[in-house]
Chains A and B, each alone.
Chain A
């Protein structure tokens, strides 16, 4: 059992990593062993999944946006570029 024993700091790090699907199999075992002993990290994990949902909402938003420069900004850029060329 001792070799599966991790601190809350380590457990929550794995928990965060697993939110991106990048925790290893061994890490997941360690995490689940830790959950048996620690309710606080169990709660963290549940809330963490909720936070991930909120972040995903932001991702959808972010993808919809297409950033452009305004006409004025482009004119300004052109002017500056021409000055440099001269």
Chain B
């Protein structure tokens, strides 16, 4: 008796040719690190092979592999989430009762040179920005990139990283004030 035609089957021999690039691209925009994305894709294939017997054929092969990868990415997020205080966050505002929430004098924004208006698309400008982002604590850099560069919805990030919306905005705020200061010191100083 022929198999039910709507049932999908797995062919691990063709996985790499068919899905490696798709999965890699999926991972790289989410973790922003080529090596990490490569590892995640590899782990996905391994996990897929190991649990192939549990494949019920309800979804396509690709959907099934993406679901595995997604779980791997969330595990990765959890790992960096728990790595607290790896890079120290520079505070921009006072947190004592007297001046609570006011600018710390040496962190007050300075006027930028006139060149700041010429937003030329230079490679130097881009690498300056990248360097500043890399200086952020890993979790801040991740949330900032997801929201700003990859343009994920707030809700989606909160779900994937298991944080609240107000958490997210505090992180974005700290990341952006820190990036502004970094760019002021390294790029816009007149």
Tally of chain A residues near chain B (CB < 8 A): 39
Per-residue interface assignment for chain A, residues 59 to 83, with 1 indicating a CB less than 8 Å from any chain B CB and 0 otherwise: 1011000111100011001101100
Give the residue of A9, A17, A59 whose beta carbon is less than 8 angstroms from that of B172.
Answer: A17
A47 to chain B, nearest CB (A): 6
Chain B residues whose C-beta falls within 8 Å of the C-beta of A68 in the assembled complex: 21, 24-25
Known: A54-B125, A58-B126, A81-B15. A16 touches B176 (CB 8 A): yes
Q: How many A-B residue pairs have CB under 8 A?
A: 115
In angstroms, how far is the closest chain A Cβ from the Cβ of B50?
A: 8
Residues of B within 8 A of A53 (CB): 119
> B-side interface residues toward A, CB under 8 Å?
12, 15-17, 20-21, 24-25, 28-29, 34, 37-38, 41-42, 45-46, 49, 92-93, 100-103, 108-109, 111-112, 116, 119, 121, 125-126, 129, 147-151, 154, 169-170, 172-173, 176-177, 179-180, 183-184
Name A's B-contacting residues (CB within 8 A).
6-10, 12-13, 16-17, 19-20, 22, 40, 43-44, 47-48, 50-51, 53-55, 57-59, 61-62, 66-69, 73-74, 77-78, 80-81, 84-85
